[in-house]
Structure 1
């Protein structure tokens, strides 16, 4: 009997190159997201164990992760595609295959940004190339809904105390509360009192909170809203972990205070979510004045935040008759800055040559911006998004501004037909330069701004940052009235300087001499000279010295230096003292926890 015929299955399947490489990029993105979440999830344990040094290390590690993963997939791409690396036809196919792989992901929008990071590395794209990258998103329908809601709702409870009791029960830390019942009672009293002041005396109907906890510094935050009738009020509970357990430190019930918590001058939160799109839109409902871009950045997805910002600015430029103009304030020695009246961002370009006496270099300036990116910004250092190869319509530029940019930054600014290409720039939130603010405002506002200028210098010092140049023109005032620092070309670490008091002159001739009568090293700083750089009226200076006179002493700086060198982290509250529970206002976080943070 003859054997039955053998089945024929055809030739073995060979995956097309485009599909294979799209899958490779998708796998790299998934690996990035998995590692991102592993680092992020550590935050809860760090908070519970009060391991603040490791929490800060985790934050820095997560910031550097994206570049590491993109570096790796770029190398793999160059290896696998070989002589077809620059084939636009192949990359169109890869893009389409990648879109099919990722469009139903929970984080599809982040996957598109990741892909763009790769293609822009490969092609060094000037402007945008819709053939091979996601200029607009391919996500046409609603985002994939979360497996479970991104928020938790509490309702049908008789009192504010009962709401807080349910919340603390639901959001239990693996660490004891120090005074649970007392905190609930005091926080409830604080909330009821603040709501009554706003004319909201009816009982709370509901509280809705983001499901994940937001961690940063020594704080853990529950973020959401309170509903009373038709009124919705922002609501944030701030927790600290003190010597004897977890405590409620503050309650934020004003949009401005929650907005400052999510400020562009703050370090990114560590918050664990599988659905960043849903979480961002939950936050947008609480903070309607925040850009979507800024909210993505605040939860650690700064690359996608930059994508959202780029799309936002392109949309604005397409629908405005405004033109760019030189930003308010004194001209910079290192950077040139322009803005658009109807768009609250500034564009900062490094000049070809720097004005005397600046001796830094372009690469050193970029290194300092990168330092700010990685460092604790303490609510005082403006976050900057770095853009390369921006291609903008020439009609957006005033003729005088375009000529100036070509003259002083011609190495990175190019005119091509009806387009202006900028090879490299930083985009930051626009603020009012402090010197301009003081010039345009009366004594009371100027005094308040100068007081916060002193607070800003001290906050930066406590995170080991010395601005280098304390001129008022290098600081700005936000719409919330907070003072921030934005000029980084001389920024350094407090611990790298030698803060000294000026030696007493030996003679009258010494005092008259234009040169120092004593040796001055390259890293020597004489704080008493800061007065000269401020350039304010005697009346304002007197008011400033009443609050911040210690800034003019070497003792202040040497004390901060010593504490940092001894391993202390000095916490900085991201909200006003008035929003702390009354019994917590006498607790100074720096004094209370500095010794606990010496690991």
Structure 2
């Protein structure tokens, strides 16, 4: 019997390992195509691959679960056999460069087999302590180190030529001169010298949407600065569109409001470690997510949260901002994340369902977030100590979301929750920040709404309370319960009437169909809080008053109907080397 158990355990471990290997092979195949799509300007195919890759992990995990269930059969001691399988699996992955991803894959299968609540040390691959983070410092395979033997233009030209794209450059020498001029200016301003000990450039190229990105770091003594060359491919050939040299600029490139990169490398942890050296404020969870592994990003966030709970004593409390009608939102102030639980019932005028809300969050996950929508990660069956919850919060959660929240002994069990990076609610930001910052945020709010529109997204609720401000000062959308595709809306002008009394009536006196939107009504609920200076609202209307017209929205719909993918750049317009349009693009 013991020999039979060992054999079954090995087969289970081998089956999970084979499922993981198949997943990685398919993932890399899709990622590899990104280079060809960029070289051939196959933007619709790039978008299709992005959508396919997003769901690949979940599909492969469920296939593996089905195979493993057949192997377990009617085994009386499923946990005992699983522990044996776990040991065999650990030995199988010990030498893999993508070991951390393999652990996540194993745990994804495990949690579905055992419907795990909280943390199950008995069957999962669990470790909440410190782990080594490979930085690739001695990895000549991952990056190449260059030194300046002539001028900066020659150095940049050699970097560009080393990529060996199967596409022509529109003006490589001119690009090299422009990049070199900005680089030299940065070095003199920041390091008081043109001296650079080395430039470490990653060999793998990062692709996203219509852009390719060469990423590296500048080194002088113990100093490190990022260097990123964004490349665009137009009809006349490839061009370097900008040069990013600060942590702030590059952090926006890897923002939680952006879609994930295509980049192929056999050791993703090593790649994330290199990026961490450039972006010390970014968590490993964010970096793994940014390079296309959101499931492992979830694992890293999960581990970070529980590790944080073991080393802190503050309580979960209600999040700042206006309470929502669909979600109960709370946070741990010392941990930069908010938790959102769908309520059991929605008060009028909300007319939606739990399933509809979840579909909208799924839509955001699969859609290009264009730097304007916060990435929401979905968790199931989390468990926390009851004494970590503010009593008033716990009472509210049990009252409003009892279908998702329960108390078992000293544990609070959350059946379903979304997590998002915490941002500053826009309605509070406008009231609490200086007039200059408030005006900048107000104008960027209008730009955010327009960016979403061009990306075929209509927020539904345009209240300032549904938007927030990131630490970079960008305005983002985070409340998705009324979100819809722009193409599904019908933007109308309020019809005229010969009856003055009807026009002045508080009741709608004309026919309204589902999907009808009347932009003329937007100022009524978009107006800023009363204690925000009127001059800021007036400035907003001056710059973005077209949002209040049906013509603007219909015009965007007509552009979308042509089928061309829009351009969005993950850096400010003023950083671009040339300005061919008023829109920003990636």
TM-score (norm 2): 0.95
Secondary structure, aligned partner of 1:251: coil
Quick check: 1:23 aligned with 2:17? no
| 1:269–1:298 CA contact under 8 A, matched in 2 | yes
Deviations 1:120-146 (A, max 9, x none): 111110111112111218997786989
Partner residue of 2:544?
548
Give the distance between the partners of 2:293 and 2:133, measured in 1 at CA: 20
Give the distance between the partners of 2:553 and 2:237, measured in 1 at CA: 32
Q: CA deviation at 1:155?
A: 1.2
Partner residue of 1:585?
579
Deviations 1:545-577 (A, max 9, x none): 221111111111111111112201111111011
Give the distance between the partners of 2:462 and 2:130, measured in 1 at CA: 47
Query: Which of residues 144, 156, 177 is equivalent to 1:185?
Result: 177
Of the structure 1 ranges 144-153 and 206-215, higher mean CA displacement relative to structure 2 is found in: 144-153
Query: Which of residues 147, 155, 166 is equivalent to 1:174?
Result: 166
Q: CA deviation at 1:525?
A: 0.5
Relative to structure 1, the CA distance from residue 323 to residue 522 in structure 2 (aligned partners, 3 Å threshold; closer, same or farther) is: same
Partner residue of 1:7?
none
Give the distance between the partners of 1:342 and 1:87, measured in 2 at CA: 39
| 1:112–1:137 CA contact under 8 A, matched in 2 | no
Query: Which of residues 88, 110, 117 is equivalent to 1:119?
Result: 110
Q: CA deviation at 1:538?
A: 3.4
Q: CA deviation at 1:200?
A: 3.1
Q: CA deviation at 1:490?
A: 0.6
Relative to structure 1, the CA distance from residue 91 to residue 488 in structure 2 (aligned partners, 3 Å threshold; closer, same or farther) is: same
Secondary structure, aligned partner of 2:277: helix
Matches within 5 A, 1:77-476: 77-84=68-75, 87-136=78-127, 149-476=141-468
| 1:495–1:561 CA contact under 8 A, matched in 2 | yes
| 1:202–1:228 CA contact under 8 A, matched in 2 | no
Give the distance between the partners of 2:219 and 2:429, measured in 1 at CA: 38
Query: Which of residues 526, 535, 540 is equivalent to 1:539?
Result: 535
Partner residue of 2:557?
561
Secondary structure, aligned partner of 1:349: strand
Deviations 1:95-123 (A, max 9, x none): 11111111211101100100100111111
Quick check: 1:38 aligned with 2:34? no
Deviations 1:489-512 (A, max 9, x none): 010000000011222332321221
Q: CA deviation at 1:516?
A: 2.4
Secondary structure, aligned partner of 1:387: strand
Q: Structure 1, unaligned stretches of length 5 or more?
A: 1-11, 594-599
Of the structure 1 ranges 316-325 and 193-202, higher mean CA displacement relative to structure 2 is found in: 193-202
Q: CA deviation at 1:442?
A: 2.8
Partner residue of 2:56?
65
Relative to structure 1, the CA distance from residue 13 to residue 128 in structure 2 (aligned partners, 3 Å threshold; closer, same or farther) is: closer
Of the structure 1 ranges 529-538 and 385-394, higher mean CA displacement relative to structure 2 is found in: 529-538
Quick check: 1:492 aligned with 2:484? yes
Partner residue of 1:9?
none
Relative to structure 1, the CA distance from residue 407 to residue 558 in structure 2 (aligned partners, 3 Å threshold; closer, same or farther) is: same
Quick check: 1:51 aligned with 2:42? yes
Aligned residues: 579
Quick check: 1:576 aligned with 2:567? no
Q: CA deviation at 1:152?
A: 1.8
Q: CA deviation at 1:159?
A: 1.7
Give the distance between the partners of 1:43 and 1:206, measured in 2 at CA: 29
Q: Which has the larger radius of gyration?
A: 1
| 1:103–1:139 CA contact under 8 A, matched in 2 | no
| 2:175–2:239 CA contact under 8 A, matched in 1 | yes
Secondary structure, aligned partner of 1:427: strand
Secondary structure, aligned partner of 1:556: helix
Q: CA deviation at 1:520?
A: 1.5
Relative to structure 1, the CA distance from residue 467 to residue 201 in structure 2 (aligned partners, 3 Å threshold; closer, same or farther) is: same
Give the distance between the partners of 2:235 and 2:76, measured in 1 at CA: 58
Q: CA deviation at 1:482?
A: 0.6
Q: CA deviation at 1:229?
A: 4.3
| 1:220–1:238 CA contact under 8 A, matched in 2 | yes
Give the distance between the partners of 1:306 and 1:57, measured in 2 at CA: 24
Root-mean-square deviation (CA, aligned residues, Å) is: 2.1
TM-score (norm 1): 0.93
Deviations 1:379-427 (A, max 9, x none): 1110011111111011211111111111111111111221111111011
| 1:348–1:427 CA contact under 8 A, matched in 2 | yes
Partner residue of 1:6?
none
| 2:285–2:300 CA contact under 8 A, matched in 1 | yes
Give the distance between the partners of 1:560 and 1:273, measured in 2 at CA: 39
